[in-house]
Chains A and B, each alone.
Chain A
Amino acid sequence: MKKRVLSRGSAAAVPILVLLSILASGCGDGQAGGNSTSDIIVASTTSTKDSGLFDVLLPAFEQAYPDYRVKVNAVGTGEALKLGEKCDADVVLVHSPEAEEKFVTDEFGTERREIMYNEFVIAGAGADPAGADTAPDASTAFSRIAQTRSGFISRGDESGTHKAEKKLWVKGGVLTPSGVWYRSTGQGMGETLRIADETRSYVLVDLGTWLSMKDSLSGGVIVLLEGDPDLFNQYGVIPVNPERCPAVNARGAAAFADWLASPEGQNIIGEYGQEQYGRALFTPNAAQ
């Protein structure tokens, strides 16, 4: 019995030693702390990460700038901006223009640049009790959903998607949606879409999440409305202000932001999704 414990102990020691040596080598070329100067920490959102865009974007960036390694911390927009505020990220890539502008005004970030937009769609049960399908625009669809008190699943997490949703309610004349028909999950886009699918409810979902998840759903919801400019979802990139956060990788952050806005970065963004879904998930729109 004792022997077994011992051998298990030594087996566990191997990965620990490997881990320690990796950590030690990681610290070696850095100046302070665990992150070396070549690491760029991007605070972004779960929906961006879930879209798979980073999987094509990051290798291309790292090929263009072999000295840098990009690490993406995918959280909600609120938390992403908070990470920037607390100097725990070098650059933020989020989609909530007003919160982003405030982030720059408050001097947490240096400069906001628009990079791309994607679209939201309104999905719901095929039976469409509120008639969202025939609504002339998104805000009308929302006001019909509220009037008929049809089930709606909200992210409720202060994410970019949730903020876009709240704007649509206000525009549709529904100041604070509430009641048993309106449910707030506080979860990510994927989970929220799945809940809408299971409960045959209306939901505001970004196109990327919709396209990547629609085949795994139970068929409870379909796209009812898309293409309204009110459903466009603008992304911005903001390097964290090095004057407030001396420890940030300011050069890396600037290089990453510049590259996203460059013709090369924009081109990759515009192509992403064509192959897999037959349509681009994001429309690049950085000012050249």
Chain B
Amino acid sequence: MFLDSIRQALGLLASAEVWSIILRSVEVSGTAVAVAAVIGIPLGVLIGLARFPGRGAVVAVINTGMALPPVVVGLIVFMILSRSGPLGSLQLLYTKQAMVLAQLVLAVPLVLGITVSGIGGIPREVLMQAKSLGAGRLQLALAALNEAKLTLVLAIIAGMGRIIAEVGAVMMVGGNFKGETQVMTTTILEEVRKGEYALGLALGIILLTIALAANAVMSRIQGGVMTR
């Protein structure tokens, strides 16, 4: 039975419907992680370099955010976008934009947190040296970015890995509409509920492949960081 499902799953990988679901997943999570990088990296550099009262608390909040349960984020975004919610008039609920928004909330703390710790890990003397060479604030930030660039790639990959595999939030705010807001994870859940394991498994194989590729890239980068 298990082997049968795998055989069917491999066959399904050729179907156009499966590929449209995969592409939608990549589109939604890719957009979310790109926006998360635009928000999270500059902010992370700022928090990483700055010393201000309450910085410890800010970092603690960010670290908590890294562990936000997706369903809770889904619920909150749902309540905000609901007709009876504050942004209901925008009619964004059950659209790809709503899914991007929910995943953005999940990805930002992760990108932010990893960036902050990456910047914090830059040897002090490197930054001092830049300062003594007459670097202004912007140049200092750019130097820090350059030093920590591998960590930043890690941050983006980790963010993507988290949200593309997430199901609770996108299910709740996207609605899993066939051909509209269905992504890999929500389809897997739906197919399993129907007792149709083959399509679920086919998409599972794709998700695993993506995770494997991301992990391979991550461990290469980590290897690079460590040997420096």
Contacts and interface: CB of A to CB of B under 8 A. Distances in A.
B194 A185 contact: no
A186 B82 contact: no
A75 B180 contact: no
Interface string B1-38: 10000000000000000000000000000000000000
Given A187-B190, A218-B82, A82 B195 contact: yes
B181 to A, nearest CB: 9
A79 interface: yes
Contacts of B177: 183-185
Contacts of A191: 171-172, 175
Given A198-B82, A199-B94, A184 B1 contact: no
Interface in B54-113: 82-84, 93-94
Contact of B1 (A75, A81, A86, A218): A86
Interface residues of B, number: 23
A156 B83 contact: no
Contacts of A242: none
Contacts of B195: 75-76, 78-83, 158
Given A183-B178, A185-B177, A187-B171, A79 B93 contact: no
Contacts of B193: 75-76, 78-79, 157, 186, 188
Interface string A67-84: 000000001101111110
B151 interface: no
A286 B171 CA distance: 38
Contacts of A186: 176, 178, 182, 186-187, 189-190, 193-194
A191 B190 CA distance: 13
Name, among B175, B190, B192, the residue most crowded by chain A CB atoms within 10 Å (CB to CB).
B175
A187 B191 CA distance: 10
A218 B93 CA distance: 14
Contacts of A199: 93-94
Interface in A80-96: 80-83, 86
B187 A218 contact: no
Interface of B: 1, 82-84, 93-94, 171-172, 175-178, 180, 182, 186-187, 189-190, 192-196
6 contacts: A76-B193, A78-B194, A185-B176, A185-B178, A187-B175, A218-B82
Given A79-B193, A82-B195, A220-B83, 18 more contacts: A76-B194, A78-B194, A78-B195, A79-B195, A80-B195, A157-B194, A183-B175, A183-B177, A184-B178, A186-B189, A186-B190, A187-B171, A187-B190, A195-B175, A198-B82, A199-B94, A218-B83, A218-B84
